Structure 1
């Protein structure tokens, strides 16, 4: 599916407020409500719109500790990689995880209530995974930019 100007308007606005009414969204895009509804459904069906959700402020929700964790694996067998990925997917503290190039194999964004909770996460989970060789923590001191949307 090739995105046009109207698709960009729809996607930009839905990223700002996914609870906007179809009528208001249609008006912003210069479309009829029925055409707007069909276009949004098409964007959902092809996977451009992946899902809808609320954006939660971590600090207001009680997560006072945030870190970027650089993980190096000791072993890279298919079983070890699958086991590591499955384990990470189960942990609520890990809000993002990326396989990356460079010195680290994975980069994770981790949220915890405080430093003690993060230490427990390391000791009882991450360092117990057989494939993990090391982890380097960069504590987030201040958020400069947090944008969940894609610019159109």
Structure 2
């Protein structure tokens, strides 16, 4: 996807929507200094251009009983297109995996996993990760506390 050219009003709209995705169009228009109709058209254009990819509610993992966060480094035995694609497909299907990145460095993939507790993580490893073909090494890093967790992108010029 090519980068979309955004003007100051588009950037302001994006900034406000990232802070409050449930804001009414009327309130959004007031905050950015547009008429409601013009604001709605701009938001619609940003959605159609793929700049805005969706809206969602952020949940507290602890309140949902998912208080253990683990960053898992996976290293592969071999790097083939088929084996890598299979691992990506499998890992993407696991609800415990919130994020998966193909990376360079000491691992091939980094996963962000949330589970209720250590026993659940042990089960996740044994029943899912350790059953993946082609995994050479698994390293787990347990989050002690969350310092920053945002999905807000900087939009200023």
User: TM tier, shorter chain?
Assistant: over 0.9
Rounded to whole Å, the distance in 2 between the matches of 1:36 and 1:18 is 14
Rounded to whole Å, the distance in 2 between the matches of 1:118 and 1:76 is 26
Rounded to whole Å, the distance in 1 between the matches of 2:56 and 2:109 is 25
Partner residue in 2 for 1:6 = 9
Partner residue in 2 for 1:91 = 94
Normalised by the length of structure 1, the TM-score is 0.97
Partner residue in 1 for 2:119 = 116
Partner residue in 2 for 1:68 = 71
Rounded to whole Å, the distance in 2 between the matches of 1:49 and 1:85 is 25
Specify the SS of the correspondent of 2:154: coil
Q: CA RMSD in A?
A: 0.8
User: Of residues 18, 21, 26 in structure 1, which corresponds to 2:24?
Assistant: 21
Rounded to whole Å, the distance in 1 between the matches of 2:7 and 2:60 is 32
Partner residue in 1 for 2:137 = 134
Normalised by the length of structure 2, the TM-score is 0.94
Rounded to whole Å, the distance in 1 between the matches of 2:139 and 2:57 is 30
Rounded to whole Å, the distance in 2 between the matches of 1:5 and 1:40 is 13
Q: Which sections of structure 2, spanning at least 5 residues, go unmatched? A: none
Rounded to whole Å, the distance in 1 between the matches of 2:84 and 2:33 is 48
Rounded to whole Å, the distance in 1 between the matches of 2:94 and 2:8 is 39
1:82 matched to 2:104? The reply is no
Q: Which sections of structure 1, spanning at least 5 residues, go unmatched? A: none
1:16-65 Cα shifts (integer Å, max 9, x gaps): 11111001001111001111011001111111101111111111111121
Specify the SS of the correspondent of 2:30: helix
In the TM superposition, residue 138 of structure 1 has moved relative to its aligned partner by: 0.5
Specify the SS of the correspondent of 1:86: helix
User: Of residues 58, 62, 77 in structure 1, which corresponds to 2:61?
Assistant: 58
Rounded to whole Å, the distance in 2 between the matches of 1:73 and 1:4 is 44
